[in-house]
Structures are given as structure tokens and as C-alpha cells.
Amino acid sequence: MQFFLPLVFLILVLAAVIAARTFLLIRSAGHKPLPFQSKLPDPPLDRQKIAEHLSAAIQIETVSHEDPAKNRTENFDRLHDLLQRTYPRLHGSLSREIVQGFSLLYTWQGSDPALEPVVFMAHQDVVPIDEHTLEQWTHPPFSGRIADGFIWGRGSLDIKNQLIAVMEAVELLLEQGYQPVRTVLLSFSHDEEVLGHGAPAIVRHLKEKGISVHAVLDEGNAVLDGVLPGFKGHTAPIGVAEKGYLSLKLTVEASGGHSSTPAAETAIGVLARAIDRLQSHPFPYRLNTVYPMFKGLSPAAPRLLQVAFANLWLFGGLVRRQLAAQAETAAAIHTTTAPTLFHGGVKDNVLPTHAEAVVNFRLLPGDSVAEVTEQVQSVINDSRVRIEPLPEYAWEPSPVSPTDTPAYQHIVSVLNELFTDIACAPSNMLGATDARNYHAISSRVYRFSPLLLHKKDLERIHGINERISLENMHKMVSFFHRLIQRWSSGEM
């Protein structure tokens, strides 16, 4: 009995601590809307007209190929002509510069030149279509067909929808006589899908003109419905950072010979074992980088997850194991390792003298290119394997943009205006975007696409039957119509 009462007391204290921490987490998670009085009423939007504009853009095949010789660059000229015809007020009021051949930079001059400009981004190019999947498309991928409440085709989700939505919003604001206080820049690169040179060239161009930027919004995560298991309502993970990128080429040289008398270890065997060691020794899982997202989304989370998020000191191991069990969530909490290319040999009965592979890493904030490269060398631990980074495919994780600023709070406020029952939170982007280049001239770089996506929609991005609903396009135009006013008002 003398041990029973202290044990009960400790259990009660523990339960009280867990409950209190859970309550405080949920209470502190909400974002107070940032008030803003627009001088302009929300305009009536013609959904069919907006859909037709996106449809026309989809029909122009601005595909970026890994082999530049396959690119049909004349299609970018066609797209530029289409934009000029579709948005006459925008092209009559904003200055337009063409950078790096086909990337577009528009400047909408604000009334106060002393204020740093804000940037709204998208890209013009799209990924190719796998010819083996053509018969699986409900409508041809470049038809831009408007049917069943959707606009169908490549680029409808990634990311001509955002390009068109931004331009629609600017055209509407000009029609309403809006004059920004803070200068607005529109930045539309032409080669984002191949990690290209358009966006870096635009940033260099702005730097050469001595321009620093107050805030940037590029493509990113969307409003999610039913994607996170157990979460209630809508969740909006807003990208405040993105993972770094590193591709390492592994090379093994050997003497070769006839396959009838192979050596004990061949070039391919040595290389295969090196890759196996890398995959058998994943980078450590860390929860600190996703805690802000846990906190922000906690009001929508199931009760057990709320308790776990609030008490990682006790349940951290369990949460870590649960997240690491699925590829999508594991990628959010560690630097990933992905062998993507493997080459070796010329004939089935000839031992190769040369074998090489490329392994791609996506670096969690806090890791670095040098540290990951050193870790790879340590894990492989074989002098026969030469390890070298591919210079074009190596950059550090981005800085983390602040969330305690009006720029971020305005994004959250507009989302709360347009979507009911929504929980917003800062997050890390797992993929690469053009936005990473803008950290050179801005400390507030955000990544978000204001459309509602269900779980099946995520498979359509870069996939079969890419499409967007007319309702989603309406929401996107409304979002940018509101956010452009907030960001360019001078009240940040």
C-alpha cells in the first residue's frame, strides 16, 4: 500500500501534465486573422471565361524536356502572344521584360517607390506526357477540354492554373482602377520543370538593378481535404522552406574481361553493394523540423495525435516510428536517399570496365551538402567507389521564412476568408521550386497554391488525367485578387 499511493499520485501528475500541454498546444495553434479593409468589392467572376483562358494556355505545349533539343521553343512565343491578347489591361499598364529567352518578368509600379516590391510567381512549362499512358486519359492531355465541371490537361494543376489565376486577378484589379502602393512583380519562368535557368536569371537581373524584395509567393502545397488521415476539415500546409538537393555520381572502374571467368567482385557488384549500404543506413529522423506544422494543424488533428504532438518528450519515439513507416511522411522528417540512375556494361557476356550510378538526396533543413557527402563516403567506406557531386544538381536547404510577419499572416487570413473550417500551418516543401532562388533577395519566401485537393487529385499532378475544377479556379482568382491588395497596400 505504501508504494501504491505514490504511484497513483505520479500517474495523476503525469496525466495532468499531458492534458495541460495538450490544451496549451491547441490554444496557441490558431492564427488571429489580420484585419484588412479592401477599398474594392469582390468582382463577379465569370467562371466559364476563366476556364476558357486556362484551356487556351493548356493547348499550347510548353513542355520542358531533359534534352533541350526536344523543346519546341516556338510554343513559348505562342503562349506569350496568347497572354498579351487575353490580358490587354495588364500588358498595357505593366512593363514586361523577357529574361533568359522566354522567362517573363512584369513590373506593376507602386505609388511609393521607397517600399520593397512583392513577387507573385508561377512557371510556364509543364512536364512531358508518358506516351504509354495516352489511352488512359479521359481527354487528350493538351486538349484543354472543359467538361464535367473541370478543365482537363497537362498544366491544369502544375502550374498554369496559378499563372492564369495571377494574371486574371491583376486584370480585374486594373479594371477596377486599383493602384498598388507597393510595387508588384510577376515572375514566370520557362524551365522550372528541369531545374532550369529562368528563375535564377530573373533574380540576378533584379540584383543587378539593386532590387531587394519584401515577400514572395510561389507554387507549393494546397488546401487538403481527406489527405491527412483522421484530420477534420481542411488543412493548409504553407511552405516556409524547402529541402535541399544533391545528386551524387558513384563510379567504379574495373579490369573487365569475359563473363565466363568473372573476378570475385565486378564493377557492378561493387557499385550495387555501395548503394545497398546507403539504403540500409538512412539519415536520422528528426521531429524538430515538422513540429511547427504539428502545432498549426493540431486543432484539426484526432485527439490521440493532439496528445502525441503536445508531448513529444514522452511520445516522440512513437510519433517518429509512425511517420517513418510511410514514404510520404518519412520524407518530411529526414534527408532522403534515392538511387535514380544505374549504368554499366555493353553486352551480356562482357564484364564491364565501368559502372556508374546517380543517387539523389533531398536535404532536410539543418543538413548540408558537405555533411551529406561526407556521410555517404563514410557509409560506403570503399575506396574503389569514386563519389562526386553533380554541380548543376547540388544546393543547400533553403532558409526558413518567418511566420510572425504580416506577409505570412495575410496568406492565412485570406485562406480563412475563402475556406471554411481550415487549419493553417508552416511546412517544409519536399520538392524543389523556383522560389529557392529568391532567398538571395528576400527573407520572406512562401510556397502555396490556393486550391482544394483531395487524395486522388495528388496522383494527377505530373500524372494521368490532370485536371482542375472550375470552382477551384474561381477560388484561386479570388485568393490572388485579395492577397495582391493586402501585400501591395504598404501595410506590411
What region does 428 belong to: left with phi over 0, alpha with psi -120 to 50, or beta? Answer: beta
Which listed residue (158, 168, 171, 192) is catalytic?
Answer: 192
19 Cβ contact partners less than 8 Å away, ≥ 6 residues apart: none
Number of C-beta neighbours around residue 492 at 10 A: 19
Cα–Cα distance list, 286 to 187, 293, 324 (Å): 34, 13, 10
Indicate the helix (H) or strand (E) that contains 365: none
Cell reading at 450: 490556393
Pairing of strands 95-99, 103-108: antiparallel
- In the chain, the amino acid numbered 230 is G
- Strand 215-225 to 445-454 pairing: parallel
Of 61, 125, 193, 225, catalytic: 125
Extended strands (E) in 175-296: 184-189, 215-225, 234-242, 244-253, 257-258
**What's the rounded Cα separation, in Å, for the pair 91 and 85?**
9
192 catalytically annotated: yes
Q: How far apart are CA 423 and CA 233, in angstroms?
A: 8
What is the gyration radius of the CA atoms in the chain, in angstroms?
25
**Euclidean distance between CA atoms 482 and 468, whole angstroms:** 21
Query: Phi and psi of 445, rounded to 5°?
Result: -120, 120
Rounded to whole angstroms, the Cα distance separating 293 from 235 reads 10
55's grid cell = 484551356
CB 217 within 8 A of CB 410: no
Q: Is position 125 annotated as part of the catalytic site?
A: yes
Tally of residues, the chain: 492
Torsion angle defined by CA atoms of residues 412, 416, 421 and 426, in that order, rounded to the nearest 10 degrees: -10
Phi, psi of 71 (to 5 degrees): -70, 135
Q: What is the 3-state secondary structure (H, E, C) of 294-342?
A: HHHHHHHCCHHHHHHHHCHHHHHHHHHHHHHCCHHHHCCCCCEEEEEEE
Which triple of cell numbers denotes residue 219? 507554387
Which among 44, 46, 78 has a CA at the least distance from the CA of 61?
Answer: 78
The residues annotated with a catalytic role in the active site are 125, 192
